[in-house]
Structure formats: C-alpha cells, structure tokens
Chain A
Amino acid sequence: MLSEWKFTAKDIAEKPDLFMSGHRACAGCAPATVLRLVLKAVRGPTILTHVTGCMEVVSSIYPYTSWAIPWIHTAFENAAANASGIEATIKVLKKKGRIKQEQIDVIAFAGDGGTYDIGIQALSGAVERGHDFLYVLYDNEAYMNTGIQRSGGTPYGASTTTSPAGTVIPGKVEYKKPIADIMVAHDMPYVATASPYYWRDLITKSRKGIEVNGPAFLHAFAPCPRGWRYDTSKSIEISHLAVETCVFPLWEAIDGEYQLSASSKVIALKPERKKPVREYLKMQRRFGHLFTPKFEKVLDEIQRITDQRWQRLLKKCGMN
C-alpha cells in the first residue's frame, strides 16, 4: 500500500530545509531535530499546523518565521482540529477546481502536553472522522515551554516543577500514558514510534504517515536538555539509549498490526542486547534523586514497568 521511497543520506542533506535555520530553539533541542527530519520526508505541497508550545514559539516570532511552507498556529489543544479544517478545505476546493495542486499533504505538530493531555479530545475526534493527515507528537515528556511541568507523558519517577522530587515523594508517581497504543485502539491506518537517533527510521515512518490514506500518528521521542537536565551534546545519545533500554521501543502498527523496527527488532531477537534502564536514567538529572539510598527502589520499579511494557509489546508483535 505504501510507496517504496528510497533515499540516501546525501538525498536528505541536499533536500532543502523547510524548517529553516535562525529559529530560537535551545542548543541540543531534539524536538527541533525531529521537526527537521520529519519535513525531510514531505513528498510535495504541504501545509503545516502547530499548537502552542516550544517549537511554535521559537519558529514564528513576528515578523520572523522559520517556515518555508504554509504554516498556521491557532491554540494549544487543537492541532488535530486545525488539521481537520485544512484537510476539509483542500478536499472541497479541489473538487470545486479552486485548488490546482493534485495533492496537498497536511501535517500537525504537537508536544506531549498538547497531545496526551489538553489535545487528546481533538485528536481522538479527528482520527475517528478519518481526516487524511499526519499527526506528529514530539514528546519531550513535560510542559517545557511553561517551565517543565509534568504531563501525561512524563515518566514515573521524573522530577518536574509540578512533580518535584521532595523529601517524601520521589518525583512523578504516575506512569506514562501509552499514547501510541491508545491511537492504535482508534483503528487508524498508521501509528509509529520514532527516535531522532534512528534518523532513517524516523524519516521513513514520516513518509509512510504522509502517504497513507487517512490519519497517521507518529510518536517521536524528543529529549529536552533544559527539562531533563543533561549536557546539550547528549540529546542524540539519550535518544539512542531510550531505545536500547526499551524505555522507548521503536515499532509501527499498520492497520493495527504491530511490528518492531530498527534496534528494537534486534533486541527482540537478541534479548542480551537490552540495556538496564539505569544507564539511561543516570544521564539525566531529572532522575538524579533516584540514585540515592532513599529512593533507589524507584529505579527497580522503573525497570519493572519497562520490562512489563516491553513484554506486552513483544506479544503484540507476536515475538514473545
């Protein structure tokens, strides 16, 4: 059903950036890398919409813009509703002959706050209605634009400004919502997870999401040096470790059929390659309090959840 689009690193390097330099993202911002990579996958005329958040703010400070394609931001909770209106218009104006292009793709970008929490209603509605668009969740696991508040995407044990590690409570005490599985449960044609370390996988999945007829959901892992508290040079390394530890496995579900991708597939076949979560956690100071005798047990709990979710995923992929 999907075209076999092949590309080399050179092709990607030569393709002009649609998210242009000069934006005001922080050094080491992985969401910016994710945006750039996703837009390397566009196949033609594309309209982009974005919710309120870091990436919107850094890219559109009037009178400047970083967008080389038509782009609109309206509010925080409505990326998918934005896309619905745009997609509906393309459909009807094409029919009426007032849009000349054969095809215009629609991509919506939102962070974890705008997806797991305040935007889930609009997202669920748009997917149920079957609009043809790619929704990209760039997950930096907290409300970073407002100063690192916990979201439904913040993992267990992470310290944020609204789930601070105190003397009694060890950071966030709730588990990360399995958002991509929730989207698969919508019976939508394409859902995938991606990490910027695996750039080829990320671009390929973005392209599939664009090409598929109907809604597609891409859950992109997007570390934030400021919020996760690590050195700005480590974003890609952390994106790698998240996959290697199975904290953030890579998979895609085409018409609800799960299959693993990239390193996650290798780990499924060679379980000894799976790294302990401590290696991933210790790089980030948002988990720093867990490496003290008082909260050490939380590390074991994180390992337990990670293993449990990984086993469930293997089962869904028929690989257990």
Chain B
Amino acid sequence: MESVVKQKVLALNGDEAVAYAAKQSDVDVVAAYPVTPQTIIVEKFSEYVANGEVDTEFVCVESEHSAMTACLTASATGARTFTATAAPGLALMHEMLYVASGCRTPVIMVIANRALSAPLNIHCDHSDSMSERDSGWIQIYAENSQEAYDSVIQAFRIGENPEILLPVMVCLDGFTLSHTLENVHVLPDDIVKEFIGIRPIPLVTTHEGKSVPFKLDPENPMTMGPIALQNYYFEFKRQQEEAMKNAQRIIRQVHEEYAQTSGRRYGDGMLEFYHLEDAEIAIVCLGSTAGTVKTVVDELRAEEVKAGLLRIRAFRPLPVEGIVRAVENVKAMAVMDRSMSFGGHGGPVFHEIRHVLYDAPTHPYLVDYIYGLGGRDTSPTQIRKIYQDLQMILQTQHLGKPVRYVGLRE
C-alpha cells in the first residue's frame, strides 16, 4: 500500500534540485570544484554550509582530481560523501574514479553532462560520462530535474548498501536540465532523513577472524588501497562485477521503496517503458531527450502509429534481460547516442543494445542515430523523422545505413 507524503513544490533548476537533495541527505563531507554546467550545485551547497543549514564539512578543493581523492578517503574514513562535476572535471578525475570503485567507497556524484574538448564546448552531450562507462561506477541518467532530485536521494541508499559498496553517478543533461527551471516536488526533510538513515558501515572479517568495521579506524587498523599483484588483483575486480550484479536488484528495490513514499516511479527503476507493449517501431535513449521523444510518441499514437520508447535509466549496471524482454515485439528500432566512439560502429549505447540483442530469439532492425553533440538542439520534427525512417525500413525491409546523424551539416 502506498502512503504518499504531502510534498512542497519548488521552482528549481536541475542543479538546484540536486543540491537540495544533497542538503536533505545528511552528507558528512562534500569535496568539490566548480565547473560549468555543474557550478550551481557547488554554489548552492556552499550557501547551505554558510547558512548553517547542513552539518557537512565542505572541502573546496583545488582540482577535481583532489575532489574525487578527498571524497574517497573521506568515504574510507566512514563519511557519507557527495560531489559533482562535468566533462573536463570528470576527465581529470578519471584515474580516481577507478580507485573509488576499486576501494569500494560509495561516493555519490552528480554529472551535469557536457561535451569534452576540443573544440571547447560547455553544452550537453554524453561524451563525458560515457567515457567512464567502464570505471566501475553505477550510472543513472535522469530525464528531468524531478528525477535528478529523486535519483540523488536513492543513490545514497544504493551505493552505501553493504551488498553494493560502489560509487554512483547521477547524470543530468547540462543546461537542458541543469539550468532550466522546473517544478520539483520535494519530500519533507524528516522523510528523507528517515529514508536514508546514517551511512551503514559493513563489518568485515580480518585474517584473525575478528569482525571489524570496513573503514579507517584507529581501534581496528586496516590497510586500504594496497598493492595486489598477479596473484590477487583479478579477484578484486571480479568482486566488483558481483556488486554490480547485486546493484540491479537493489536499484529496483530502493526505487520501489522510494516510490511508496514519493508516489514517483520511473519504470522499474532500471528501464522506463513508454507505449512499448504493442510498439512496432521504437526509440531507445537516455536523459532529457526522452521527454521530447515521449511527446512525439503521443502524437504518433494519436495518428495510430504503433510507436514506443525505451528509456535506459541505469546504464551501469545494464539491465540486459529487461532490455531483451522490453523490445521482443518491436520490429524496427532506433538507438539515440549523444556521444561518439570514433572508429567504432556507432555510439556506445548502440554498441550495448546491439550486443544485448545478439542472444535474443528475435531482434528488430536496429539503427543508430548520433545526435545533439555539443548541445545541438534536437527537435520533435527530427525525432518524428527517425520514426518515419523506421517505418520506411519496415516497408522496404531494408536497413540502409546503420549509423546516421541527426541535424548535422554534411
């Protein structure tokens, strides 16, 4: 039985919504560095600190590399930690992202997605977070600011779960979400506090058979971040994969529990399905573009076109079985990629979807559309054109070019 709580509606942009969620989440340490389009998050959080609205140690570091470093050692010392960044900052963190996941420190980080240089560009695409696909972080992509708010609160519960202990990235599209005002329903402080609790520190067994907290604790000295060579490194990595597997279940559980209180659901927490049950043609995408796609699906449905959308909310871990099931009746499908994998066959989302469908009993015609790089706008007309292309593929039973570009001068 759902018992949805009464919630305030605030006019917030995506960055503010995220900062608000972090404020409510009883974060112990924030270490962050400003970078467009994430900066509002750090600014907002600094205000909360300056006004005594949070009980958080805010470390205003000199680089993103140090931001991630300080977050992960804080986390290793037992703190709940939060940070935020975007493209160049995320790229500078790259080394430490692997250390954070490898040390099993559940740092929560918001990415305001932005294009990677060069040429310099501050606007949205997914080249930054897609470059960190294999860093061992859970990745959740929000469609709107409301979901960004909800996802940050959920992220603490997911990452800090003793079965997981992995860092989590919540990605929101730069400017499209980060700087655009939206009505955001926010939960009361005490409800969030109750939902999230204090960070649980799991117990681990030492070589002496003693049960000790998994953190840097003078009472129970532990060596963290050791060197592990040919004889042990591999097992550490395999354990991370196991945690990722568990994460699928935990993400769904936390999402459902949160839905009971907030009344908000995003599919099953991993995937969102929009008119997919009887869809013949469908688009797969992630992030804010899904909002535009939904509008077009509504129009097409009114015209009795069997169009649908599969939105990937959790890209890591990837819900393989869910994707296969979701599109089993789709006949032609377009994947939308907001980043490129130069020299590869299409973008990273295309790679994943095509790969997932290899073992499926049937698969649809599959085509990749690379779009919106460097913040280029993608209109409903362009989305409609993609659905028309899919219809054409079905009519002619001919795929044509498997990798295409949207709104590009060629």
Contacts and interface: CB of A to CB of B under 8 A. Distances in A.
Interface string B196-225: 001000000001000000001111111111
B216 A86 contact: yes
Contacts of A92: 28-29, 55-57, 79
B85 to A, nearest CB: 15
A212 B96 CA distance: 30
Interface string A21-50: 000000000000000000000000111010
B94 to A, nearest CB: 11
Interface stretch (B69-77, B250-258, B269-277, B357-365): B69-77
Q: Counting chain A CB atoms within 10 Å of each CB, which of B71, B218, B227 scores highest?
A: B218
A309 to B, nearest CB: 29
B218 A46 contact: yes
Contacts, number: 161
B5 interface: no
Contacts of A296: none
Contacts of A67: 221, 223
Interface residues of B, number: 46
B227 A61 contact: yes
Contact of B57 (A83, A89, A101): A89
Contact of B59 (A70, A88, A96, A121): A88
A121 B66 CA distance: 9
B227 A93 contact: no
Contact of A74 (B55, B63, B73, B220): B73
Nearest to B235: A62
Nearest to B63: A121
A124 B63 CA distance: 11
A82 interface: yes
A85 B78 contact: no
B57 A75 contact: no
Contacts of A142: none
B118 interface: no
Contacts of B226: 60-62, 65, 73
Contacts of B189: none
Interface in A60-109: 60-63, 65, 67-75, 77-78, 80-86, 88-93, 95-96, 98-99, 101, 104
B73 A85 contact: yes
Contacts of B95: 75
Contact of B69 (A70, A78, A98, A128): A78
Interface in B72-123: 72-79, 81, 95-96, 99, 103
B28 A84 contact: no
A178 interface: no
Given A86-B73, A96-B55, A71 B223 contact: yes
A56 B227 contact: yes
Interface string A121-136: 1101110110000000
A75 B99 contact: yes
Interface in B310-338: none
A179 interface: no
Nearest to A47: B216
B79 A93 contact: yes
A78 B76 contact: no
B100 to A, nearest CB: 9
Contacts of B76: 72, 85-86
Contacts of A302: none
B29 A88 contact: yes
A70 B222 contact: yes
A57 interface: yes
Contacts of A86: 73-74, 76-77, 216
A50 to B, nearest CB: 9
Interface in B45-77: 55-57, 59-63, 65-66, 69-77
A89 B56 CA distance: 9
Given A85-B31, A91-B57, A96-B55, A71 B221 contact: yes
Contact of B232 (A49, A62, A78): A62
Contacts of A121: 62-63, 66
B228 interface: yes
Given A89-B79, A96-B55, A122 B73 contact: no
A81 B66 contact: yes
B229 interface: yes
Nearest to A56: B227
A182 B282 CA distance: 61
Nearest to A46: B218
A74 B75 CA distance: 12
A67 B221 CA distance: 8
A84 B221 contact: no
Given A75-B99, A84-B31, A89 B74 contact: yes
Contacts of B99: 74-75
A91 B59 CA distance: 12
Nearest to B224: A72
A68 B228 CA distance: 19
Contacts of A91: 57
Contact of A78 (B66, B77, B198, B220): B66
Query: Counting chain A CB atoms within 10 Å of each CB, which of B77, B217, B221 scores highest?
Result: B77
Given A62-B232, A72-B224, A81 B218 contact: no
B218 A124 contact: no
A45 B222 CA distance: 13
Contacts of B227: 56-57, 60-62, 73
Interface in A141-182: none
Scoring A74, A75, A83, A93 by chain B CB atoms within 10 A of each residue's CB, the highest score goes to: A74
29 contacts: A49-B73, A61-B226, A61-B228, A61-B229, A62-B227, A65-B223, A68-B221, A70-B216, A72-B73, A72-B223, A72-B225, A73-B226, A74-B225, A80-B66, A81-B70, A83-B73, A85-B77, A86-B73, A86-B216, A88-B57, A88-B70, A89-B28, A89-B57, A89-B74, A92-B28, A93-B77, A121-B66, A125-B63, A129-B61
Going nearest first, the 8 A-B pairs with the smallest beta carbon separation are A125-B62, A85-B73, A45-B218, A85-B70, A81-B69, A81-B66, A60-B226, A85-B74
